[in-house]
Amino acid sequence: MAETVAAFGVPHTPNFPALVAKAGPDCETAKLYAEIAKRLRAAEPDVLVIYTDDHFNTFFLDNFPTFAIGIADATSGPNDQTPMPSYRVAVQESLATHMRAKGIADGFDLSLVQDFDVDHATMVPLHFLTPDMKIPIVPVFINALAPPLPSSQRCYALGKSVGEAIRSWPESKRVAVIGSGSFSLEIGGPSIPPGERAGTPDPEWGKRVQDHLEHARVGELVEEATSARLARAGNIGGELLDWIAMLGVVGDRKPVFIAPQIGHGHAYAAWRL
Residue 159 corresponds to which amino acid?
Answer: G
* The overall pTM is greater than 0.85: yes
Across the chain, what does the average pLDDT equal? 96
pLDDT at residue 196 in the model:
78
Is-contact 116 72, C-beta < 8 A?
yes
**Residue 96 scores a pLDDT above 90:** yes
Span of 46-50, 136-140, 192-196 with lowest mean pLDDT: 192-196
Residue-range domain boundaries for the chain:
3-272
Question: How much of the chain is helix, strand and coil, in % rounded to 5?
Answer: 40, 20, 40
What is the β-pairing status of strands 67-70 and 137-142?
Answer: antiparallel
Quote the CA–CA distance of 169 and 1 in Å, as a whole number.
6
Q: What is the mean pLDDT of residues 106-129?
A: 97
**Residue 193 scores a pLDDT above 80:** no
pLDDT at residue 194 in the model:
79
At the topology level, CATH places domain 3-272 in Protocatechuate 4,5-dioxygenase; Chain B (3.40.830)
Question: Of 62, 225, 80, 61, nearest to 146 (Cα)?
Answer: 61
**Residue 155 scores a pLDDT above 90:** yes
Query: In 82-173, where do the E strands start and end?
Result: 87-90, 111-113, 137-142
Q: Label residue 118 exposed, middle or buried (CB < 10 Å: 0-12, 13-18, 19+).
A: buried
Is-contact 258 39, C-beta < 8 A?
no
Percent of the chain, pLDDT > 90? Answer: 94
Question: Of 67, 49, 68, nearest to 162 (Cα)?
Answer: 49
How many separate helices (H) and strands (E) can be counted in the chain?
9, 12
**CA dihedral sign of residues 159, 165, 166, 168:** positive
